[in-house]
């Protein structure tokens, strides 16, 4: 059997994930019925890991384990050789988010995107809701959020494109941090 990639954004894969969880729960119940608490705990830990990986990346890989069942692990995009050697540069990202939205969820989505394009989030700071000097898209208030990120070359343009399409981001500023500071 080849590796199967579960994608939480794909409707066909949702049934696969539900079947996988149901199967793990059945196995755990069987172990508990047999009073095999060690294997029950091991399966419970695996199920917890699978749920965390699915929630974090949205992608899982299911592969056969030498005829002994299946193993499940987070899917990681294969890195191209040129990407591995790219130097990372530090940037500051200032976000003015719509005060009416759930800012933490929106910023988490932006962070996931940064990680998916090869970046790292070093620091995040929420400065709360502030009154704007002028209205932006009918908003008089915005939630100010600051991120310090490390990005490979070419990634800032991808992040700018993504933020330009985000309705919740009223304004953003992505600048390279001065390496001397």
**Rounded to an integer, what distance in angstroms lies between the CA atom of residue 73 and that of residue 76?**
9
* 56, part of any domain: yes
The reported pLDDT for the residue numbered 104 is: 85
Q: Output the pLDDT for position 55.
A: 53
Q: Are residues 27 and 65 in the same domain?
A: yes
* Per-residue confidence (pLDDT) for residue 146, from 0 to 100: 94
pLDDT per residue as tens, the chain (181 positions): 344 444 444 444 555 666 777 777 888 888 888 888 888 888 777 777 666 655 544 455 555 454 444 555 545 555 555 545 568 899 999 999 998 888 888 888 899 999 988 899 999 998 899 999 999 989 999 999 999 999 998 889 889 888 888 888 999 999 998 877 6
**Number of helices (H), then strands (E), in the chain:** 5, 7
Q: DSSP for 93-151, please give it.
A: EEEEEETTS-HHHHHHHHHHHHHHTT-EEEEEEEEEEEEEEEEETTEEEEEEEEEEEEE
Q: Residues 102, 169: one domain? A: yes
Element (H, E) at 18: helix 11-33
**What is the length of the chain?**
181
Which secondary-structure segment (H or E) carries 32? Answer: helix 11-33
From residue 42, alpha-carbon distances to 16, 24, 30, 46 in Å are 21, 11, 13, 6
For residues 85 and 151, membership in a common domain is answered with yes
The pTM assigned to this predicted structure is: 0.53
- Asked if residue 31 is part of any domain, the answer here is yes
């Amino acid at each position: 059997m080849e590796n199967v990639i579960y994608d939480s954004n794909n409707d066909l894969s949702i049934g696969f994930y539900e079947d996988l969880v149901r199967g793990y729960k059945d196995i755990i119940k069987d172990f508990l019925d047999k009073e095999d608490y060690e294997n029950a705990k091991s399966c419970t830990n695996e199920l917890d890991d699978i749920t965390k990986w699915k929630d974090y990346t949205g992608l899982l890989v299911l592969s056969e384990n030498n005829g002994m069942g299946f193993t499940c692990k987070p899917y990681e995009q294969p890195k191209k050789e040129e990407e591995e050697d790219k130097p990372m540069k530090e940037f500051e990202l200032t976000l003015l988010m719509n005060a009416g939205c759930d800012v933490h969820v929106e910023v988490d989505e932006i962070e996931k995107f940064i990680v998916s394009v090869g970046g790292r989030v070093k620091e995040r700071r929420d400065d709360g809701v502030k009154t704007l000097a002028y209205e932006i898209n009918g908003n008089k208030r915005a939630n100010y959020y600051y991120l310090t990120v490390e990005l490979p070359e070419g990634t800032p343009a991808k992040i700018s494109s993504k933020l330009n399409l985000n309705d919740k981001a009223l304004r953003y500023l992505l600048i390279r941090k001065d390496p001397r500071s």
